[in-house]
């Protein structure tokens, strides 16, 4: 009789455990499916990155590449969003570009999730969200909020020390899963190195002349409201930067350091023929000095703790307590930057022009916006 009771308890415990595993794995598997951009007027094709590097096929590092073509031939440009999947303005700018751009001359490749694996998990220890939603023209749409690093389910364990290929540079082990320390990548490396190699192969095989990598960083990080360019791209970056500043966009310009390896603006410039440019905006939800993480902070860019930090002189961006740094300002900076730098590229390469219209810029998204719409609603007006 006693034994029977024990068996019954054991069966009940096992059933309970299986139910918990089932429910949590549903959530776990659902976050591996990513919401995709809708196809705007110039999208001709969507291919997977494995078309250019087959070693990614069937892995969580394979990612969609949107190909936007103009009526006239011209130059080729690549926009990378989601290098770091917790840097919202990077991938939301990619969504805005894909859904709005009307390409006149040339071809534009857009990758919304450069580290696809990084977007399939988040950093719960940071109080980060898995999702946020926006009310768009087609109704309520869900967008993801991921992690800076490759999902450990896809690549684990990290070594104690990460040795970059091919420079031999040594970094902390966790940087092994940071794709922006993995360029130029290698075909037989770990998943992060393979993803980086895939991007480099896309640039080499398509002969892409201009490349953008869109980032965000915390307001207390020195490289912010900034552009970093490979030395080959400094000419066009200087011209574009002057035009951005004439529009009232505060932008610092730095040349990519030659002794800091693994980043797009260093390695894609060195290992391909592209002009590599990276931009950074200020994201309040990434900083150590922030208050509790909230969607209002992620999209609205407001935070009481940063008001105090600014008064103490600890920030590298101006901080207006009434406005903060909303998603519209951040995406507006990125998209205006892509526009101005591509214009400068066209001036230097009149036989390889990339011209387009329809993409909202700094004025559409931010300067001319009704203040009450900032924090997501204004941006959502430009999503399909
Ligand atoms: Zn970043």
Show the tokens assigned to 281: 């905006």
Closest CA to 182 of 254, 257, 84: 84
pLDDT in tens, the chain (384 residues): 667 888 999 999 999 999 999 988 887 777 788 999 999 999 999 999 999 999 999 999 999 999 999 999 999 999 999 999 999 999 999 999 999 999 999 999 999 999 999 999 999 888 888 999 999 999 999 999 999 999 999 999 999 999 999 999 999 999 999 999 999 999 999 999 999 999 999 999 999 999 999 999 988 888 889 999 999 999 999 999 999 999 999 999 999 999 999 999 999 999 999 999 999 999 988 888 888 888 889 999 988 888 888 888 888 888 888 889 999 999 999 999 999 999 999 999 999 999 999 999 999 999 999 999 999 999 999 999
Instruction: Measure the CA–CA gap between 71 and 128, rounded to whole angstroms.
Output: 42
Closest CA to 293 of 303, 308, 280: 303
pLDDT at position 88 = 97
pLDDT at position 309 = 85
Instruction: Measure the CA–CA gap between 282 and 376, rounded to whole angstroms.
Output: 16
Q: Which residues have CB less than 5 Å away from ligand 1 (the ion)?
A: 84, 87, 215
Instruction: Measure the CA–CA gap between 144 and 146, rounded to whole angstroms.
Output: 6
Closest CA to 195 of 122, 95, 93, 120: 120
Distance 82 CA to ligand 1 centre (A): 8
Instruction: Measure the CA–CA gap between 95 and 236, rounded to whole angstroms.
Output: 25
Buried b (16+ CB within 10 A) or exposed e, 99-114: bbbebbbbbbbbbbbb
Instruction: Measure the CA–CA gap between 233 and 60, rounded to whole angstroms.
Output: 32
Distance 216 CA to ligand 1 centre (A): 5
Show the tokens assigned to 323: 């406005």
pLDDT at position 212 = 98
| Residue pair 98/128 in contact by the 8 Å Cβ criterion | no
Closest CA to 87 of 109, 48, 125, 113: 113
Show the tokens assigned to 187: 């075909």
pLDDT at position 239 = 98
Q: Does domain 37-380 have CATH number 3.40.630?
A: yes
Distance 16 CA to ligand 1 centre (A): 41
Q: What's the distance, CA 187 to chain centroid? A: 23
**DSSP state at residue 120:** G
Distance 85 CA to ligand 1 centre (A): 8
Distance 109 CA to ligand 1 centre (A): 20
Instruction: Kindly list the domain boundaries of the chain, sorted by start residue.
Output: 1-30, 37-380
Distance 102 CA to ligand 1 centre (A): 28
Tell me how crowded residue 242 is: count the other CB atoms within 10 A of its CB: 13
Instruction: Measure the CA–CA gap between 164 and 380, rounded to whole angstroms.
Output: 39
- Per-residue CA distances from 297 to 274, 323, 371 (Å): 35, 11, 16
Q: Which residue stretches of the chain are H helix?
A: 2-30, 88-100, 191-206, 234-246, 264-271, 295-300, 304-311, 327-348, 362, 377-380
Instruction: Measure the CA–CA gap between 358 and 220, rounded to whole angstroms.
Output: 34
Distance 84 CA to ligand 1 centre (A): 5
**Main-chain dihedrals φ then ψ at residue 86, nearest 5 degrees:** -100, 5
Distance 141 CA to ligand 1 centre (A): 24
Distance 17 CA to ligand 1 centre (A): 39
Please, is 122 exposed, middle or buried when counting C-beta atoms within 10 Å of its C-beta (0-12, 13-18, 19+)?
A: buried
pLDDT at position 243 = 97
pLDDT at position 1 = 60
């Amino acid at each position: 009789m006693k034994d029977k009771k024990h068996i019954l308890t054991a069966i009940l415990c096992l059933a309970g455990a299986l139910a918990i595993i089932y429910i949590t794995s549903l959530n776990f598997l659902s976050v591996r499916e990513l919401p995709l951009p809708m196809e705007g007027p110039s999208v001709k094709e969507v291919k997977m990155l494995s078309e250019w590097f087959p070693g990614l096929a069937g892995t969580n590092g394979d990612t969609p590449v949107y190909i936007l073509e103009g009526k006239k031939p011209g130059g080729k440009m690549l926009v990378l969003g989601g290098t770091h999947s917790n840097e919202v303005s990077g991938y939301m700018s990619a969504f805005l570009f894909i859904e709005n751009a009307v390409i006149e001359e040339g071809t534009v490749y857009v990758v919304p999730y450069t580290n696809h694996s990084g977007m399939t998990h988040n950093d719960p220890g940071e109080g980060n969200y898995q999702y946020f939603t926006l009310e768009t023209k087609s109704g309520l749409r869900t967008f993801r909020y991921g992690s800076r690093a490759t999902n450990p389910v896809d690549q684990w364990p990290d070594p104690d020390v990460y040795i970059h290929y091919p420079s031999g540079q040594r970094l902390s082990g966790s940087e092994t899963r940071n794709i922006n320390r993995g360029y130029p990548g290698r075909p037989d490396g770990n998943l992060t190195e393979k993803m980086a190699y895939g991007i480099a192969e896309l640039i080499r095989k398509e002969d892409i002349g201009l490349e953008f990598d869109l980032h965000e960083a915390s307001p207390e990080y020195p490289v912010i409201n900034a552009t970093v360019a490979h030395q080959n791209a400094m000419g066009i970056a200087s011209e574009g930067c002057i035009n951005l500043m004439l529009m009232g966009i505060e932008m610092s310009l730095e040349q990519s350091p030659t002794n800091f390896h693994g980043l797009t603006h260093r390695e894609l410039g060195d290992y391909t023929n592209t002009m590599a440019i990276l931009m950074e905006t200020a994201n309040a939800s990434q900083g150590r000095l922030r208050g509790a993480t909230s969607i209002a902070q992620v999209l609205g860019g407001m935070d009481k703790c940063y008001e105090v930090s600014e008064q103490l002189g600890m920030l590298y961006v101006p901080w207006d307590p009434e406005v903060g740094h909303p998603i519209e300002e951040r995406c507006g900076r990125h998209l205006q930057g892509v526009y101005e730098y591509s214009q400068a590229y066209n001036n230097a390469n009149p036989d390889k022009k990339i011209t387009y219209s329809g993409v909202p810029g700094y004025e559409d998204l931010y300067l001319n916006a009704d203040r009450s719409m900032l924090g997501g609603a204004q941006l959502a007006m430009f999503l399909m």
